Amino acid sequence: MTPLLSARALSKQYGGRNGCRNVSFDLYPGEVLCIVGESGSGKSTLLNTLALRTPVGSGTLHYASAHGETLDLLALSEPRKRLLMRTEWGFVQQNPRDGLRSSVSAGANIGEPLMAVGARHYGKIREAATQWMARVELDASRIDELPSAFSGGMQQRLQIARNLVTRPRLVFMDEPTAGLDVSVQARLLDLLRTLTSTLHLSVLIVTHDIGVARLLAHRLMVMQGGEVVEAGLTDQVLDDPQHPYTQTLVSSVLPV
């Protein structure tokens, strides 16, 4: 199978400080790959670098587009990059407020990305927004309310709908369940698990929470000090961690 995304020796420095260093991996279609590590280990830097939101320092990054081309992402023009982000990628932020437009309704938040990819029929856009609200377990009768009228967990589900409505092939997620109550987190994780498998999504997800990784990910990359210190199948890495840092991470949480 051809990888959807291939990174080789990716590095990013901030001045003299290491953001991430020498990261290589392949992400396959339909696969959920989790980047885990403690605060400051370089997870967000790596995710933002892969999603082309932060300039890459060095290395290579290739993507197999929906049209069957292999794109050299680091050589892509700005308009092509924006098109890719709009049509094939999604990015779910940790804080839903960063990923939603606060001045427009829930329905418009879901409908806008559809318009950005060419949808024009108001009735169809509203129907899609209604369906997506139900799909992320939001009360569709609240479609005209502003995001601020929704709870944190609901806002996160709204952000997920906004990202998935265009049926992206690759979704980046930065700590999507952080900052939520445990019960709200569990419901959101359940929803994410269902959506990723039914939509056959490829996902790169950052978390410091081993429980999230265990529930969602097929594979893990464990980061420490900007480097991947261990990678492999989720159960393998969590049940039989080889690197001392992974052993500490795993032993510091209760089994899920």
Ligand X SMILES: Nc1ncnc2c1ncn2[C@@H]1O[C@H](COP(=O)(O)OP(=O)(O)OP(=O)(O)O)[C@@H](O)[C@H]1O
Binding site for ligand X (CB under 6 A): 14, 17, 19, 37, 39-45, 208
Taking the least distance from each CB to ligand X, the nearer of 104 and 253 is 253
Helix (H, G, I), strand (E, B) or coil at 191: helix
With CA atoms as reference, report the closest residue to 215 among 243, 240, 196: 196
Separation of alpha carbons 97 and 77, rounded Å? 29
Closer CB to ligand X, residue 6 or residue 44?
44
Do the Cβ atoms of 215 and 45 come closer than 8 Å?
Answer: no
Least distance between ligand X and beta carbon 160 (Å):
20
| Nearer Cβ to ligand X (14/122) | 14
Residue 44 vs 196, nearer CB to ligand X: 44
Residue 61 beta carbon to ligand X: minimum distance, rounded to whole angstroms: 17
CB of 109 to ligand X, least distance (A): 25
Q: Residues 6 or more apart from 41 whose CB is under 8 A from it?
A: 223, 224, 225, 226
> Residues near 114 by Cβ (< 8 Å), separated by ≥ 6?
125, 128, 165, 166
